[in-house]
Amino acid sequence: MIRIKRSVTISALAAASLACLAAPAVQAQSADMTFFVTSNGPGKGADLGGLEGADAQCARLAQTAGAGAKTWRAYLSTQAADGKPAVNARDRIGKGPWQNAKGAVIAKDVAELHGLANNLTKQTALSEKAEGINGMGDQPNRHDVLTGSQPDGTAFAGPDDRTCKNWTSSTQGTAMVGHFDRRGLRDDEPSKSWNSSHPSRGPDGGCSQADLKSTGGDGLLYCFAAN
């Protein structure tokens, strides 16, 4: 009995030591991180406080992961409104390359990110904590990521709202979302699109937290280091 107890104690100490060694390694990798999917949204649906609020969300989460010494930008477009021009998501995120918290390169530049050769998949679209996020087939599904963008990363023109009133509405409107896991209900390009899959919808008007959850989202964002 004494030997068994001692063995258990030694095993527990060994496990604790390994955990302590692993933590700095993850933190070191996260410091070099230049891309992540937010582990959570602000909680107000698609009302992010505009682009400024969305960027602040990226910066806060990056800071907690030890990667705060960068200029973080949310991958979001806005539409022309109130005399202000549209903003393209692709123009906000720097030149690249971008890598996740474990060092996997997502894309070397803006062109590759928006082409067929990018490496954005369920396995590489990690959170700032270097953790995977639930996708299609998981419970709950959280694969919808807010973008407000067309496949090439540009803003939508015309009268149809695709940004929940430029990320200030948690009631009426719609937001274009992408699927970070590149999966949908059909085997077509929109279903597989990381940045332009389908508009949000729901009984609250399309932009509430409940609406986003109803189609497989949670108000998550793509965050890129722009410097």
Written as six digits, the tokens of 137 are 């087939």
Q: CA–CA separation, 135 vs 123, rounded Å?
A: 10
Out of 21-30, 115-124, 132-141, which region has the weakest mean confidence (pLDDT)? 21-30
| Nearest CA-CA partner of 198 in 208, 210, 186 | 186
Written as six digits, the tokens of 32 are 């070099």
In the three-class reduction of DSSP (H, G, I as helix; E, B as strand; rest coil), residue 103 is classed as coil
Averaged pLDDT, 173-178? 98
Place of tokens 């699927």: 179
Q: pLDDT of 23-82, one tens digit each? A: 444 454 578 999 999 999 999 999 999 999 999 999 999 999 999 999 999 999 999 999
pTM of the model: 0.87
Instruction: Give me the phi and psi of 177, to 5 degrees please.
Output: -125, 160
What whole-number percentage of the chain has pLDDT above 70? 87
